[in-house]
Amino acid sequence: MSAGEKGAGEKGAPAPAVAVCASCPRRCRLAPGALGACRARRNVGGRVVPEGYGHLTSLALDPVEKKPLARWRPGSYVVSVGSYGCNLACPFCQNHDIAQAGSGDVGWREVTPDELVEMALAARRRDPRVVGIAHTYNEPLVGWEYVRDCARLAREAGLANVLVSNGCACDSVLGELAGLVDAANIDLKGFSDEVYRACGAPGGALDCVRHTIETLAADPACHLEVTTLVVPGLSDSEETVGSIARWLAGLGDVTYHVTRFFPRWRMTDRAATPVSDVYRLAEVARRSLPHVYVGNC
């Protein structure tokens, strides 16, 4: 048998397997031991695994209005958790210290799904306004397995599940979460490929995010809200906001947030969005949608 027939490994052992991550449209091809672009998923033995599973960098008790969720259980609270990593690189990211970090770049504590659910139940025993768990802060869906496993246990315990995400996830991931998400806020960066390129997104990201929004809007178990950050020179045109609002109106009862930008991380070359612009764009959105809110004003 020739060396070519044996393969590249020593004594005929198979060569280490390259693995393709199917969590988002990046479809990262990972050599053995390599991390994906999100810094949270790794090729281990030819399988892509969530390295950040249960590695929490952030844990807080938040009002649901902070997610933001304006029309879902107002006055209630959620135990909010975040890990590290993100499959985008928005230059204005307000949580870049964890979203743009990997395991060795930031402190974290391991919390199993059972432990997290017990934390939320203990919080509810102290305050009956606590209704569930929110996966937020970084991009939760780079570790969708943890979201799924926690959500299943939370549902069994009578707790609600909240997802705050950029929505850039493949259909297989959405299928794993089907029927488990009680409320979601999806961050729609804009309505053009240009905006998503500015956010470091892979090709096809906008279509992917639109599909996520459509899927959640069609899920009778899920209350959906959508947020657009109004970034001067990027996503602050009436055409952009009007197009988004008209599209959302065709999906049913979707609540829309138009939020003010402040200079952050790598985007400090422009001033905060004028408050008057945010209110003007909210009025544009209200031509198509009955429930439009402003944020950061």
**DSSP code string of 223-288:** EEEEEEEE-TTTT--HHHHHHHHHHHHTTSS-EEEEEE---BTTB-SSPPPPHHHHHHHHHHHHTT
Q: What is the mean pLDDT of residues 22-33?
A: 97
- Tell me: pLDDT of 40 over 80: yes
Classify the C-alpha dihedral 185-190-191-197 as positive or negative.
Answer: negative
Q: What is the pLDDT of residue 63?
A: 98
CA-only gyration radius of the chain, Å: 20
Q: What is the pLDDT of residue 5?
A: 36
Q: What is the pLDDT of residue 142?
A: 98
Q: What is the mean pLDDT of residues 133-153?
A: 98
Q: Give me the phi and psi of 150, to 5 degrees please.
A: -65, -40
Token output for 239: 């055409």
Domain locations along the chain: 52-295
Question: How far apart are the C-alpha atoms of 112 and 93, rounded to whole Å?
Answer: 27
Q: Return left, alpha or beta for 26; rule: phi > 0 is left, psi -120 to 50 is alpha, else beta.
A: alpha
Confidence of residue 6 (pLDDT cuts 50, 70, 90): very low
Q: What is the pLDDT of residue 9?
A: 44
Q: What is the mean pLDDT of residues 163-184?
A: 98
Question: For the chain, percent helix, then strand, then coil, each to nearest 5?
Answer: 35, 20, 45
Q: Which of 11-25, 50-64, 67-81 has the lowest mean pLDDT?
A: 11-25
Amino acid letter at 258?
A: V
How high is the mean pLDDT of the chain?
95
Q: What is the mean pLDDT of residues 235-264?
A: 98
Q: What is the mean pLDDT of residues 14-29?
A: 91
Q: What is the mean pLDDT of residues 267-292?
A: 98
Confidence of residue 7 (pLDDT cuts 50, 70, 90): very low
- Tell me: pLDDT of 3 over 70: no
Q: Which of 237, 252, 251, 215 is nearest to 285 (CA)?
A: 237
For 292, the enclosing helix (H) or strand (E) is strand 292-295
Q: Which of 177, 127, 188 is nearest to 154 (CA)?
A: 177
- Tell me: pLDDT of 8 over 80: no
Question: How far apart are the C-alpha atoms of 166 and 163, rounded to whole Å?
Answer: 10
Question: E strands along 154-243, which residues?
Answer: 160-165, 183-187, 223-230
Q: In sequence order, which ranges of 1-143 are alpha helices (DSSP H)?
A: 3-6, 96-99, 113-126
Q: Give percent above pLDDT 70 in the chain.
A: 95
- Tell me: pLDDT of 169 over 70: yes
Cβ-Cβ contacts under 8 Å for 69 (sequence gap 6 or more): 162, 183, 185, 223, 225
For residue range 87-124, list pLDDT tens digits in order: 999 999 999 999 999 999 999 999 999 999 999 999 99
Q: Which fold has domain 52-295?
A: TIM Barrel (3.20.20)
